Chain A
Amino acid sequence: MADAEVPQRTRSRTDPATAFTYAPAPESRAIVDLRSSYGLFIDGVFVDGSGSGFKTINPATEEVLAQVAEATEADVDRAVRAARKAFRSWSRMKGSERGKYLFRIARIIQERARELAVLESLDNGKPIRESRDVDVPTVAAHFFYYAGWADKLEFALPEGRNGGGDPRPLGVAGQVIPWNFPLLMLAWKIAPALACGNTVVLKPAETTPLTALLFAEICQQADLPPGVVNIVTGAGETGRAVVGHPDVDKVAFTGSTEVGRAIARSVAGTSKKVTLELGGKAANIVFDDAPIDQAVEGIVNGIFFNQGHVCCAGSRLLVQESIAEDVLHRLKRRMKTLRVGDPLDKNTDIGAINSAEQLTRIRELSEIGEQEGAGRWSPACDLPDRGFWFPPTIFTGVSQAHRIAREEIFGPVLSVITFRTPKEAVEKANNTPYGLSAGIWSDKGSRILWVASQLRAGVVWSNTFNRFDPASPFGGYKESGYGREGGRHGLEGYLR
């Protein structure tokens, strides 16, 4: 063994001058031209809303960013009429022409990427590293991808399937999206709808409307015909008006299972087509032969990416008992290096919780976890005084009977559950009302394939987590919803 001889030139490592602390590296806000108030985007122009309007704030500081219009039922009706009028010419346009518009939008998104990323981080609270490196590039990729499909729809789907053989657009799509990936969810909704020849009325989330309104400007910049894309801002009432409008042919919703149920009820008995992408409680399964350091990385990415505000977050860690202690030790060590704070600092790993309301829910469920007897642990981290913050947290000793193992927390909170055999891992992973995603960590290919085939989840990642590609379909089983977004399957929901 090496003798632990201490070389002569050691110096004190407790000296603060020699510590490698990263100086602040803030991204400039100057690139964003924030207006004090925003209207609704209807028929290619910005107009005032009839509602009383509301404010959108920066969740990291609680500063008011802008005043946003609120769309009433009458405003939504105007938007749907504009979309209907535009549908006549847009649906008859050659696919290659529609594709040109989508390519143009994709290129402008790339050109204005920095601006979009900064605005997304300001309004949503997610770290600039994520909005810059994940959200915005993926948004552009989705538009490029569906731009390519616009003139190839007859080859997209097998004969006899929705849109197979003789694909035709549905008409006007009413789309309601959540606050966790404001721009990415907009891209998932608008890109396939437009490629297939539909027109849209989209309602962004109440707390994160700004990038959707900047996207409206991009539509103007791309000379998109008026009425093809309409953006109406507001809260639940506005969303209900969009979904319930009689002239909407298709409803696409991403959000909570509770709201998804209400939507499913409201459209029951109508001719509207629906796709729902709802909550999740994904199992991230780590076997004893996993590449352990990368598995720890995948666990961190699975639950702390975007503060855990991810429907497909790996919020349940299922770890094989024989390595549970080692994995937890490594996980805690890794969590100590996570940097929580200013979302606009390029070195921030975990940003702000999106709203006071969401923070309250995360706190409540965490307290329930403690009452249920699970062991709670967070690394020491200084949280800013203003804004909404929650430290990265894990609960150990969780069992299937605990509420924190069943309910979606939608925050940076991980429940750790152990298992003994692959069969037990599969049983526990599937033992949930949800079924959106799952992760498998193993160096054994045959095991990965077997487990993946047993899991009832729309997306299964192996030896990675939270990877998105426009060519890959995404969607759920059971209470995680129905329909798929992304890939060829993503076209099905917008064709008849």
Chain B
Amino acid sequence: MTTGPLTLSAAGLDSVSEATSSDAALRRFLHGLPGVDQVGAEQRAATLSTRSIKTTAKQFAIDLAIRMVDLTTLEGQDTPGKVRALCAKAVHPDPADQTCPATAAVCVYPDMVAVAKQALGSSGVHVASVATAFPSGRAALPVKLADTRDAVAAGADEIDMVIDRGAFLSGRYLQVFDEIVAVREACERPDGSRAHLKVIFETGELQTYDNVRRASWLAMLAGAHFIKTSTGKVQPAATLPVTLVMLEAVRDFREATGQMVGVKPAGGIRSSKDAIRYLVTVNEIAGPDWLDPDWFRFGASTLLNDLLMQRTKLLTGRYSGPDYFTLD
């Protein structure tokens, strides 16, 4: 593990328990993190967007992006039929080409987890479930925990929780921290194993990059396996600069603690071009270790078909129409 001069103590931290001993201590730590300059962060993201990814690199990137997709349906109108169709698509995104990799996971509401689990069988595609009164998070803690346990009991491999943005914005950081810890406990299965926990910040509501950086550290200290930008229900959802700030945070967290945390931008990523820009940013900000579905995911639905179209064009030299790819 590479450790630079940045250690926990350099990050102003002798131990996690010390930083989280009180609201005041946690605030001191989070507000002691270096600030993020908005202009500079956005400029860096814009420069990374000018990387030109061609031929073999593009092929690699598109297949990797497909393997990173959490194929998502989070609608009030979801039915078992819709979810089964989505699962079929996740396992074989391109029925015309069996070499096409499967997506990392499908992402559904808790009441659809059992259906998805059954449909996916032994395919290796994970089931991720949103929980904790998604998307607003406005419910009592016991309700959120019950929501989580329900999804885990139904067989969810991964839980995407939302933080309490109200608590975060009013400076009740310890409350947010404690909730993440409690949800993480609720991810435990009877056999002692745990569903992986992704923590959604809803960065469109946090608004400043300083808040995004603080939320990232808060979630990582609380034991998140993944930090995730958005629910997809609030605009703006994922943006490249927000993801860049989160990638800087996981990079610094690994240097400070030796532990890797994953990143998941979600919402608004629709084209292969966008996806590749994210991969370039992962590569150059966090480093190539994160170029893996274990450490980076896209929360997306329409993105998958654009990736398939680009993939087919690279393989055949011809660009097919949308009707050559399945709807779901």
Q: Chain A: residues with CB nearer than 8 A to chain B? A: 1-4, 7, 9-11, 13, 17-25, 129, 133, 289-295, 297-298, 325-326, 329-330, 333, 337, 346-347, 443, 463-464
Known: A25-B52, A25-B53, A291-B35. A464 touches B16 (CB 8 A): no
Q: B69 CB to closest chain A CB, in angstroms?
A: 15
User: Do A298 and B40 touch across chains, with their CB atoms under 8 A apart?
Assistant: yes
Question: B44-62 toward A: CB 8 Å interface, digit per residue (1/0)?
Answer: 1000001111111110110
User: Do A133 and B60 touch across chains, with their CB atoms under 8 A apart?
Assistant: no
Q: B283 CB to closest chain A CB, in angstroms?
A: 5
Which residues of B (239-294) have their CB < 8 Å from a CB of A? 248, 257-261, 279, 283-284, 288-289, 291-294
Complex A-B: 17 CB contacts under 8 Å? A1-B257, A4-B260, A17-B60, A20-B61, A23-B53, A23-B55, A25-B54, A291-B35, A291-B36, A291-B40, A297-B43, A298-B40, A326-B4, A333-B4, A463-B40, A464-B39, A464-B43
**SS class of chain A's interface: helix, strand, loop or mixed?**
loop
Q: B31 CB to closest chain A CB, in angstroms?
A: 11
Residues of the A chain whose Cβ atoms lie less than 8 Å from the Cβ of B167: none
User: Do A346 and B52 touch across chains, with their CB atoms under 8 A apart?
Assistant: yes
Q: B40 CB to closest chain A CB, in angstroms?
A: 3
Known: A2-B261, A297-B44, A337-B284. A10 touches B294 (CB 8 A): yes
User: Do B39 and A463 touch across chains, with their CB atoms under 8 A apart?
Assistant: yes
User: Do A291 and B4 touch across chains, with their CB atoms under 8 A apart?
Assistant: no
User: Do B292 and A294 touch across chains, with their CB atoms under 8 A apart?
Assistant: no
Tell yes or no: B24 within 8 A of A by CB. no
Residues of the B chain whose Cβ atoms lie less than 8 Å from the Cβ of A3: 223
Q: A100 CB to closest chain B CB, in angstroms?
A: 34
Q: Which of A2, A293, A295 contacts B220 (CB 8 A)?
A: A2
Known: A11-B292, A19-B288, A291-B40. A1 touches B259 (CB 8 A): yes
Q: B223 CB to closest chain A CB, in angstroms?
A: 4
Tell yes or no: B37 within 8 A of A by CB. yes
Question: B141-167 toward A: CB 8 Å interface, digit per residue (1/0)?
Answer: 000000000000000000000000000
Q: A20 CB to closest chain B CB, in angstroms?
A: 5
User: Do A23 and B6 touch across chains, with their CB atoms under 8 A apart?
Assistant: no
User: How many Å lie between the Cα of A9 and that of B294 in the bound state?
Assistant: 7
The CB with the most chain B CB atoms within 10 A, among A17, A22, A292, is that of A22
Tally of chain B residues near chain A (CB < 8 A): 48
User: Do B34 and A23 touch across chains, with their CB atoms under 8 A apart?
Assistant: no
Query: Nearest chain-B residue to A441 (Cβ)?
Result: B37
Q: Which of B35, B221, B261 contacts A443 (CB 8 A)?
A: B35
Known: A2-B220, A346-B50. A23 touches B36 (CB 8 A): no
In order of increasing CB-CB distance, the 9 nearest A-B pairs are A294-B40, A25-B52, A291-B37, A346-B52, A292-B34, A294-B37, A329-B4, A23-B57, A2-B223
Known: A7-B294, A291-B35, A464-B39. A2 touches B288 (CB 8 A): no
Tell yes or no: B41 within 8 A of A by CB. yes
User: Do B258 and A20 touch across chains, with their CB atoms under 8 A apart?
Assistant: no
Q: A331 CB to closest chain B CB, in angstroms?
A: 11
User: Do A293 and B284 touch across chains, with their CB atoms under 8 A apart?
Assistant: no
Query: Nearest chain-A residue to B225 (Cβ)?
Result: A2
User: Do A13 and B292 touch across chains, with their CB atoms under 8 A apart?
Assistant: yes
Q: A63 CB to closest chain B CB, in angstroms?
A: 24
Residues of the B chain whose Cβ atoms lie less than 8 Å from the Cβ of A20: 57, 60-61, 64, 279, 283, 288, 291
Q: A325 CB to closest chain B CB, in angstroms?
A: 4
Residues of the B chain whose Cβ atoms lie less than 8 Å from the Cβ of A1: 16, 221, 223, 257, 259
User: Do B259 and A2 touch across chains, with their CB atoms under 8 A apart?
Assistant: yes
Residues of the B chain whose Cβ atoms lie less than 8 Å from the Cβ of A7: 196, 294
User: How many Å lie between the Cα of A356 and that of B259 in the bound state?
Assistant: 47
User: Do B16 and A293 touch across chains, with their CB atoms under 8 A apart?
Assistant: no
Q: Can you name 13 extra interface pairs (CB under 8 A) apart from A289-B35, A297-B43, A346-B52? A: A1-B259, A2-B225, A2-B259, A13-B292, A22-B54, A23-B57, A25-B53, A293-B34, A294-B39, A294-B44, A326-B4, A333-B4, A463-B40
Tell yes or no: B224 within 8 A of A by CB. yes
Q: A154 CB to closest chain B CB, in angstroms?
A: 36
Tell yes or no: B321 within 8 A of A by CB. no
Residues of the B chain whose Cβ atoms lie less than 8 Å from the Cβ of A23: 53-58
Residues of the B chain whose Cβ atoms lie less than 8 Å from the Cβ of A294: 36-37, 39-41, 44
User: Do A291 and B58 touch across chains, with their CB atoms under 8 A apart?
Assistant: no
Known: A20-B283, A20-B291, A325-B5. A293 touches B248 (CB 8 A): yes
Tell yes or no: B96 within 8 A of A by CB. no
User: How many Å lie between the Cα of A329 and that of B4 in the bound state?
Assistant: 7
User: How many Å lie between the Cα of A298 and that of B37 in the bound state?
Assistant: 11
User: How many Å lie between the Cα of A18 and that of B56 in the bound state?
Assistant: 11
Which residues of B (214-229) have their CB < 8 Å from a CB of A? 220-221, 223-225
Question: B1-33 toward A: CB 8 Å interface, digit per residue (1/0)?
Answer: 000111000100000100000000000000000
User: Do A347 and B52 touch across chains, with their CB atoms under 8 A apart?
Assistant: yes
Which residues of B (56-79) have their CB < 8 Å from a CB of A? 56-58, 60-61, 64
Q: B125 CB to closest chain A CB, in angstroms?
A: 11
User: How many Å lie between the Cα of A443 and that of B16 in the bound state?
Assistant: 26
Residues of the A chain whose Cβ atoms lie less than 8 Å from the Cβ of B39: 294, 463-464
User: How many Å lie between the Cα of A290 and that of B36 in the bound state?
Assistant: 9
Residues of the A chain whose Cβ atoms lie less than 8 Å from the Cβ of B51: 22, 346-347
User: How many Å lie between the Cα of A330 and that of B289 in the bound state?
Assistant: 17
Residues of the A chain whose Cβ atoms lie less than 8 Å from the Cβ of B257: 1
Residues of the A chain whose Cβ atoms lie less than 8 Å from the Cβ of B56: 23
User: Do A22 and B53 touch across chains, with their CB atoms under 8 A apart?
Assistant: yes
Q: B63 CB to closest chain A CB, in angstroms?
A: 10
Q: Which of B5, B52, B260 contacts A326 (CB 8 A)?
A: B5
User: How many Å lie between the Cα of A325 and that of B5 in the bound state?
Assistant: 7
Residues of the A chain whose Cβ atoms lie less than 8 Å from the Cβ of B55: 23
Known: A7-B294, A298-B40, A346-B52. A291 touches B16 (CB 8 A): no
User: How many Å lie between the Cα of A3 and that of B258 in the bound state?
Assistant: 11
